[in-house]
Amino acid sequence: MPRFLAGLVSSILIASLLSCSTQTSPQHNQLVVFAAASLKSVFIQIGDRFKTDNPGVDVTFDFAGSSELATQLTQGAAADVFASADNAQMEKVAKAGLLAGSPTNFASNTLVIVAAPGNPKNINSFADLTRPGLSVVTCQQPVPCGSATERIEDATGVHLKPVSEELSVTDVLNKVTTGQADAGLVYVTDALSAGNKVTAIKFPQAASVANVYPIGALKNSSHVSLAQRFVATVTGETGQQILAQSGFAKP
């Protein structure tokens, strides 16, 4: 066979193989979800279910304080979905024109005091957190758990003097579980997830300042329809069942 014909045949075979490879390779999509730190455990469960129901889709989570995530988004960070621990941070993202439609409220959460197992400091009320010698940690402003703490302080007239103010509710919980603080203010769901590492002390004032969680698909997403499908999973029967099992209340 002449050399030029051999080369032509070889080129045709390579092109054919590449075409077949392209046609048979599965579609692969990456969904990036920015979510409040308090959603970590439950969203990982929902993400696993979502991947099972949507073959070829990977879900990557970025968990942090809602205010930190909202700032990242307004400064140009790329993501497909945003789930906040309060409406204030979602409003910042909405006002920046970053949402693909209106957000949907999908859960609510209330604060609870956590102390070392057995409650050795005998903390029984919100006011007890002001006792001399007691080291207390809270979330900083404008993190939603910090905003909720401030609203309780304003409502009760009891103002705390925390030894530290953390960037996320999981950081507050960690300070208590590792013995770096005597007590902290976290969500009911965080106390549940900690199990026997803490004792949870409920107080009545928390009920009036429940945080509502909104979620929305982001306009600049590379997979808007897929992002909206994830939102639908969170707000639908599957997500709501997992949220309820983890201690979240209805919005």
- Binding-site annotation: residue ranges for molybdate: 38, 66, 169, 187
DSSP 21-57: HHHHSPP-EEEEEEEEGGGHHHHHHHHHHHHHHSTTE
Burial 160-169 (b: 16+ CB within 10 A, else e): bebeebbbbb
Cβ(167)–Cβ(65) below 8 Å: yes
Lookup result for tokens 């949507």: 54
Task: Work out whether the CA dihedral 159, 165, 169, 173 comes out positive or negative.
Answer: negative
Provide the CA 105 distance to its chain's centre, in angstroms.
Answer: 14
Q: What's 218's DSSP letter?
A: B
Largest CA distance in the chain: 96
* CA 34 – CA 92 distance, rounded (Å): 14
Provide the CA 93 distance to its chain's centre, in angstroms.
Answer: 15
Cβ(251)–Cβ(211) below 8 Å: no
Reduced to 3 states (helix: H, G, I; strand: E, B; else coil), residue 112 is strand
Binding residues: 38, 66, 169, 187
